[in-house]
Amino acid sequence: MSKGLFVIGTGTDIGKTYVTGLLLKYLRDNGYNATYFKAALSGAIRDEDDNLVPGDAVEVLEMANLEEDTDFLVPYIYETAVSPHLASQIEGNPVDLSVVKDAYEKVSQKYDYILMEGSGGIVCPIRYEGKGNENNIMLEDIINHLGLDVIIIADAGLGTINSIVTTVEYLKNRNVHACGIIMNNYKDELMENDNIKMVEDLCDVPIIAKVYQNDINLQLDVDTKELISYFR
């Protein structure tokens, strides 16, 4: 039975896709039959044949040295570079949880471990049809629908304490368990090391890795067995 782990960021443009690629590369380099999955991707580009190409998926697969059809791994692809809920309002084809689950289950038949990347930060509307509408989907709805725990990717620099603590508290209120935090763009400096100490003290969620700029391999502060235990 395949197991999954959800990767979220504290916001947009903090390197979530890059770190997801490092995570997948780490798993595959250590012999695990692991892959990438993303429910909805916006901001796709068109190739020479006018087909939409999900750039995040391509980046992760290239980093991890995995050849796979991106359409198999990303059921909803939008061209407009906005939140999936708005992209689907502009382009049509709104996200359906049953479609996401079906696509996820098909991937799980081929791979033992699935790293599922979220969109933006945790407060990301995936589908929105008006206040109180039963068809609305937030990112945590996908996480809970698939029964996954999460790893949080955050920038190591100024402002990260607030971003991480706010994210962790939101997750707790939505009954989503955060297993660990990875600090991206890390520098071994006083402020960033203090950020790590404060985050661990305030959140009770461990920092499991620090990623320096342009790292090509992930150096975990926990062993591989611990990382694998996060998958559900």
Q: pLDDT of 155-200, one tens digit each?
A: 999 999 999 999 999 999 999 999 999 999 999 999 999 999 999 9
Catalytic one of 3, 16, 25, 38: 38
**H-helix segments, the chain:** 16-29, 55-64, 70-73, 84-91, 97-108, 139-146, 160-173, 190-203, 224-229
3-state SS string over 77-104? ECCCCCCHHHHHHHHCCCCCHHHHHHHH
Average the pLDDT over 4-22 and give the result.
96
3-state secondary structure of 16: helix
Residue 1 — pLDDT band, cuts 50, 70, 90? confident
Average the pLDDT over 20-44 and give the result.
97
Query: In angstroms, how far is CA 197 from the centroid of its own chain?
Result: 24
Q: Max alpha carbon distance in the chain (Å)?
A: 52
Instruction: Name the pairing type of β-strands 40-41 and 76-77.
Output: parallel
159: tokens are 């402002």
Q: How far apart are CA 35 and CA 64, in angstroms?
A: 9
119: tokens are 């969109």
**Residue 120: its pLDDT value, please?**
86
181: tokens are 């935090």
**Residue 70: its pLDDT value, please?**
96
- Concerning whether 16 is annotated as a catalytic residue, the answer is no
**Residue 209: its pLDDT value, please?**
98
pLDDT, tens only, 106-117: 999 999 999 999
**Residue 216: its pLDDT value, please?**
97
**Residue 203: its pLDDT value, please?**
94
pLDDT, tens only, 40-50: 999 999 999 99
Task: Give yes or no for residue 152 having a pLDDT over 90.
Answer: yes
180 forms bridges with which residues in the sheet? 151
